[in-house]
Structure 1
Amino acid sequence: MSFIKEYVERQTLHRRNLLLMSAYGLCGAVLGAAAGPGRAGAVTANPRIAWSYRDRTNPYWNAIVSGGNAFVRSLGMPESALINLINEGSSEKSLADIQSLLSRYGSGVALAVDPNDMPNCRPVVEAVSKAGAYVSTIWNKTDDLHPWDFGDNYVSHMTWSDVGPSEQTARVLFDAMGGKGGVVHLGGIASNNPAIERLAGFRNALKAYPNIQLLAVQAADWDTQKANQVMSGFLTRYGDSIKGVHCASDTMAYGVIEALRAEGIEDMPVVSYDGNPQAVELVTQGKILATVFTNPYWAGGITAALAYYAATGAFKPSAEPHEHREFLGPTILVTTKDAREFKARYIDTNPQYDWKNFWALASK
């Protein structure tokens, strides 16, 4: 359990260092010949591969980028060939970094990106399309934005169906509470698709448990430190009325557990989401009752692969059916009953994936 306290303490320093990494990844790359912004898209033998994401200190995003690195290695390139654009949860920085990348390399870019929030996806896609480059997105986009409306340049969008799995974790929590008592929910960034869906799943489960009392719902923005503060506030406000905690991500659960420990509470039922290695280990110990694995390693590699192989002309996105351009990633519920078996298969070693089999793990 000591890793949670250390994790909270390290975040500020790591974030500062990773901002420097982000700048190096963009500015330190060697310039190459590229079409200027606004030119028609054209295939290229060696596009620049980039991943735009929130935070490498977060285990989820670390796994995403590890998958991206694995894909780059599969091409015979060093991991340093992957350009890291770290936006620290800022949609403005996300778009600015991508625009800067496109101004350098034009159509010679294969970009994988989580736009950080739904509204930011459209300007990102429009910038990439205008430059004639190629982009694959994950998690966040508005419902009226579709890859097939942008020809080949908007290659694909992958998200996850979080409502059902989040409802499952809530049911695990409510059962552990004996079907009664007060519960609190800590959510992600309010405009994020997964935050919205995970809260919806939680609320769905509440309908089947009339003796569970919802005390509070509050966003902690996927952040461990903020979750720690939010949970501390809940404990001050509601005290012993809290009998269980529903977290929309593992990293927020770490902050919750640390806040509980500070009050001498070691046996509060807690559930989370994302299936990070540390969270799975806590599930094996019974400290977290359930989490949901979304296979970020595969998602990170396959999203980069889709953008790259579209950029090289290995396949033509516009020739694919719509279900290959907007699709769901995999989810696995991990509980105390199966956590050790799951850990051996997915955490202790990463499975080997065929990065050209783009939709192998896509949910049907």
Structure 2
Amino acid sequence: MSMPFIKRFVAQETARRRELILAGAHGLVGAAAGTGLVSAFARSEPTLAWSYRDRSNPYWHAVVSGAESFLEDNGHKKSALLHLLNNGSSEKSLADIKALLSKTGGKVAIACDANDAPNCRPVVEAVQRAGGHVATVWNKPDDLHPWDFGDNWVSHMTWSDEGPAEQTARILFQAMGGKGAIVGVGGIAANNPAIERHRGVMRALQDFPGIRLLDYQPADWATQKAHQVMQGFFTRFGSKITGVFCANDSMAYGVLEALRAEGRKLPVVAYDGTPEATELVLRGELLATCFTNPHWGGGITAALAYHAAIGSFKPSAEPRAHREFYGPTILVTQRDAAGFKKKYISGTPKYDWKDFWAPGRGQIMYAAKP
């Protein structure tokens, strides 16, 4: 992989996002999509949907590919999956889900990232009122729990991002020799993973007094916006910048393109473990990334919602560790990137989609409030 890849990726992301926006304007995506998608299952089956940001992002592409694998392994065509694309809008996320609930009479199994934590409550409340089933990932308030919604809110999975983000930050600081100044490029401010990954950086900084944080700005998980944020950092700080922390891989691509344009090579770390980022780690253009196994996460979230909806198991009969749990994380550095690529990228592992909690890392734990 070479740096021109990054430029192509920025252009492709922009084009795909434009296509999705145009499609949405013409009613071609989201809950208002053609009736064929909603009726893709047999009449006795619930409609299976994934509500997420957009498929132009490699992470979300892997998520919904996992859901499609679950469908195929379960004897359905992958085209049976209804894609509710919110393009980063919490309002659209909720509106699409409400429209789908109305269209199906609540006979749905929804896998969902609510886009930000506050949006989770109205989403699960709408699903409960309609008698549907939803399994969520990533974003929810700490005081909102699936067991307070009976069987309708099946489960919530997140990833313990603070610790892995601290690890990647430490790798960055060590590569800088424990001195210098960094900038940080973060996700959507109200996103739980964005908050936790920022905390991880700040925690690592406590042990590196020789490193200064110049600024940390959100780029909303997007390549193009990260490119603009990094250009702004160069305008403000110039040669003072000696390292970059990126809260996901897609934003790292924009940062690397900005570095190329400036003719600079700086140590950069990222997060998500996408195939493209893994190649960049192998080539030494990224120091590290962190894999959250989005293929398994997307498939198992869809599987949980689907099996709860058809009555294969009763969520309210499960222990709390099965209602809220952490997904797996794997740190990827140049030392182990080749082995990681062989196992998770060159060949996708096969999963038992009824073994819901096997790769999980236990019940979600919340920080004590002061």
Note whether the superposition's TM-score is higher than 0.5: yes
Within 5 Å, which residues of 2 pair with 1:1-364?
A: 1-19=3-21, 20=23, 23-24=28-29, 26=31, 27-30=33-36, 45-265=44-264, 267-364=265-362
Q: Distance in 1 between matches of 2:30 and 2:126?
A: 20
Q: Distance in 1 between matches of 2:114 and 2:28?
A: 18
**What's the CA shift string for 1:156-206, capped at 9, x where partnerless?**
000000000000000000010010001111110110000000000000000
Conserved? CA contact 1:170–1:271, under 8 Å? yes
Q: How far is the alpha carbon of 1:16 from its aligned partner? A: 2.8
- Aligned partner of residue 156 in structure 1, secondary structure: strand
- Aligned partner of residue 23 in structure 1, secondary structure: coil
Distance of aligned partners of 1:184 and 1:24 in 2 relative to their CA distance in 1, 3 Å threshold: closer
**What's the CA shift string for 1:301-342, capped at 9, x where partnerless?**
000000000000000000000000000000000001000110
Aligned residue for 1:39? none
- Aligned partner of residue 227 in structure 1, secondary structure: helix
Q: How far is the alpha carbon of 1:24 from its aligned partner? A: 4.3
Q: Distance in 1 between matches of 2:210 and 2:127?
A: 50
**What's the CA shift string for 1:68-99, capped at 9, x where partnerless?**
11011112111110000000000000000001
CA RMSD of aligned residues (A): 1.6
Give the total of aligned pairs.
Answer: 354
Q: Distance in 2 between matches of 1:359 and 1:16?
A: 37
Aligned residue for 2:366? none
Q: Distance in 1 between matches of 2:84 and 2:167?
A: 34
Whichever residue aligns with residue 318 of structure 2, its letter is E
Q: Distance in 1 between matches of 2:180 and 2:159?
A: 30
Aligned residue for 1:41? none
Q: Distance in 2 between matches of 1:17 and 1:236?
A: 32
Conserved? CA contact 2:109–2:134, under 8 Å? yes
Q: How far is the alpha carbon of 1:18 from its aligned partner? A: 3.0
Q: Any unmatched runs of 5+ in structure 2?
A: 363-370
Conserved? CA contact 1:18–1:56, under 8 Å? no
Q: How far is the alpha carbon of 1:25 from its aligned partner? A: 5.9
Conserved? CA contact 1:283–1:290, under 8 Å? yes
**What's the CA shift string for 1:10-55, capped at 9, x where partnerless?**
22221133342783464223366x9xxxxxxxxx951110000001
Q: Distance in 2 between matches of 1:102 and 1:231?
A: 41
Q: Distance in 2 between matches of 1:258 and 1:24?
A: 31
Conserved? CA contact 2:30–2:96, under 8 Å? no
Q: Distance in 2 between matches of 1:246 and 1:253?
A: 8
- Aligned partner of residue 266 in structure 2, secondary structure: coil
Q: How far is the alpha carbon of 1:151 from its aligned partner? A: 0.4
Distance of aligned partners of 1:202 and 1:49 in 2 relative to their CA distance in 1, 3 Å threshold: same
Q: Distance in 2 between matches of 1:328 and 1:306?
A: 15
**What's the CA shift string for 1:125-184, capped at 9, x where partnerless?**
000000000000000000111000010000000000000000000000001001000111
Q: Distance in 1 between matches of 2:123 and 2:60?
A: 19
Q: Distance in 2 between matches of 1:278 and 1:304?
A: 25
Whichever residue aligns with residue 35 of structure 2, its letter is A
- Aligned partner of residue 110 in structure 2, secondary structure: strand
- TM-score between the two structures when normalised by the length of structure 1: 0.95
4+ aligned runs moved over 6 Å, structure 1: none
Conserved? CA contact 1:45–1:312, under 8 Å? no
Whichever residue aligns with residue 239 of structure 2, its letter is D
Q: Distance in 2 between matches of 1:146 and 1:115?
A: 14
